[in-house]
Amino acid sequence: MRCNTGLALALAGLAAGLAGCASGAPPPPEDKAPAAGAEGRPEYGGSFRMRVAGAEIPSFDPRQEGITGQYFHVNGLVYSAMMRYPYAKYATSAPMECNLCERWEQPDPSTYVFHLRQGIKWHNKPPVNGREFVAEDVRWTMTDGEGVDGKNPRYIRWIRDLSAKQIARIETPDKYTVRITLKQPYAPFLLYMGNPYIYHFVPREAVAAARSDTNKEGFLGLGLNDTSLAIGTGPFTLKEYTPKVGGVLARNPDYFRKAANGDSLPYLDEVRLLFITDHKLRTNAMLAGQLDTGGIYLDDFDINKLEKDGRFSIDNTLTGFGPFVLFNTSGKPFDDARLRRAFHLIVDRYEVMKPTNMRLTQVERWTPSAWEPYGTPLEVVEKLPGYRSDKNEDHAEARKILKDLGLDGGFKFNLAVQTGGQDEQFATVLQAQFKAFKIDANIEVLDRATTLQRRVDGAFEAMMQPQICSGPDPEDCIQEFTRDARENSKFSHPELDRLDALQAQALDAKERAKIFGQIYDLLDQQQPSLSLFRSPWYTAWRKEFQGYMAQPHTEGIIHWVDQVWRKKS
């Protein structure tokens, strides 16, 4: 039996004991919020103003397909998941910690038993009115409605995939116990139980009230702008929301988590959200005193301004974010793996990443190197064909492949690029590199809607796309090429499917890492896409706010706002 008795990783990096379960209920896990010290003892009160990179929140239903990063700024503070990322800058190699549960057990490889914290309350808003959160709420959210069985496209794909393909049954032996039996062992299961893209729990009363007001086919329940029914168990309650303007979230006095020093959380009275779509306007708003944090994606220009100003703390973390070139492997010319391999060898990734204007950008393989033990160490990546900076051998082999294919005389292809951002700059660098091999890349600049539609329809030859492995599980970085998600990449390979099935059921991390090593080797040969580089996420916030940090996952940053406090003196 595996057992987890609360926090699996302290801020200092000390692992919690997992050798066995003590008899009786263990104490609830504590957050590793900043202790009294250099910053002083945490203080209550104040408002934290955050930028939202969009014009509206897509939906207040956390199960809704099509959610984006904007979603987390509201739903990530209103709702809660069973597990959650550890409070640490690099949470990738650490086990998930209990959130709504006080402990979990794994009596066999396919069964998980979650023992809920007692006394958790839903927000004190009608029609739920602050009733207790219990095991039936977990079962209901995970089994509610047509679509959790995998048929309703309005449910998030991961919910459909998990519920239909991984979960055999969900039982509630008593008020505070949830027993989930899987169809087979599934290594990332605990991570997905903490990933807010998957299961944030909602009360059935709120969903029933919302459904009574709509006749939309397949509607889940908690619709756009319906602030009164956005009811969760999170640290803040949704007080106000105006599309294209912003919103206000107020402190939840009944929040269930405690700080390590015993303080009730959250410390802040409120979180204010401002919709600012333009990154440069975001930085100007911070300098003008209109924002306390501007979120992620700070480039060197932003950082230099904020450093010079002196009022901001700046931090970074390596991520799974970066551009890649996706090949349509279902049609000419990229249905031939040899040609895709030639492109991999031609591209000088170090030249492509120069326009990023982002510090610490680095060439990576299929999974970020920081995701131990699954990422390939940088010192290894830098010596691999295609990824290395010395291109002499790579280019010689690429020319041989092109000659063998009868393409050494040159050919043309279309490279679709979404307007905005820096993809056009990266594409221009790639275009020049291909030209040296008599390959003419015609760059098609498309709006976002057209780009997405072409990808779904398979109406492209090659396409630049951002890759965001929200992880921190390596499975997230290869899903473009496996299972249901391959409908976008158009790539299929029986050996990859075999290895993917093996890794999913490998519960030992070392064994699983070896399998992923084989997957990376296969992908390097097949090259369904060109992974170019990974960029760090920089974030900045006013220095009087303590307890904030950069983290590889947007949702992790948002959750940690429950521990942010303002130093008033």
Do 344 and 525 contact (CB within 8 A), yes or no? no
With 90 as the cut, is the pLDDT of residue 337 above it?
Answer: yes
Q: What is the mean pLDDT of residues 406-431?
A: 91
Residues 6+ apart with CB under 8 A from 32: 7, 10, 11, 86, 87, 88, 260
Residue 270 CA neighbour count, 13 Å, CB half: 11
Nearest Cα neighbor of 168 from 84, 109, 104 is 109
Categorize the per-residue pLDDT at 49 as very low, low, confident or very high, splitting at 50, 70 and 90: very high
Window from 34-38, 163-167, 203-207, 243-247 with minimum mean pLDDT? 34-38
SS3 222: coil
Do 358 and 535 contact (CB within 8 A), yes or no? yes
Cα–chain center distance at 471: 5
Containing 455, the helix (H) or strand (E) segment is helix 448-457
8-state DSSP, 87: S
DSSP state string for 253-265: TT---BBTTS-BS
In this predicted structure, what is the pLDDT of residue 75? 79
CA dihedral 328→330→334→336, nearest 10 degrees, is 150
Percent of the chain predicted with pLDDT > 90: 49
Q: Which two tokens stand for residue 388?
A: 């290395």
In this predicted structure, what is the pLDDT of residue 178? 98
d(CA 337, CA 526): 5
d(CA 141, CA 134): 11
Angle, CA 58 vertex, CA 240 and CA 209 arms, to 5°: 65
Categorize the per-residue pLDDT at 18 as very low, low, confident or very high, splitting at 50, 70 and 90: very low
With 70 as the cut, is the pLDDT of residue 220 above it?
Answer: no
In this predicted structure, what is the pLDDT of residue 158? 58
Cα–Cα distances in angstroms (integers) from residue 559 to residues 87, 183, 307, in the given order? 9, 31, 26
In this predicted structure, what is the pLDDT of residue 6? 35
In this predicted structure, what is the pLDDT of residue 402? 97
Do 14 and 87 contact (CB within 8 A), yes or no? no
In this predicted structure, what is the pLDDT of residue 466? 77
Q: What is the mean pLDDT of residues 472-488?
A: 73
pTM confidence score: 0.84
With 50 as the cut, is the pLDDT of residue 26 above it?
Answer: no
Q: What is the mean pLDDT of residues 194-198?
A: 73
d(CA 418, CA 447): 6
Domains and CATH numbers, the chain: 2-34+43-278+539-566 (3.40.190.10), 321-531 (3.10.105.10)
238-270 pLDDT, tens digit per residue, is 999 888 888 999 999 999 999 989 999 999 999
Containing 497, the helix (H) or strand (E) segment is helix 494-505
Do 258 and 269 contact (CB within 8 A), yes or no? no
Q: Residue type at 173?
A: P
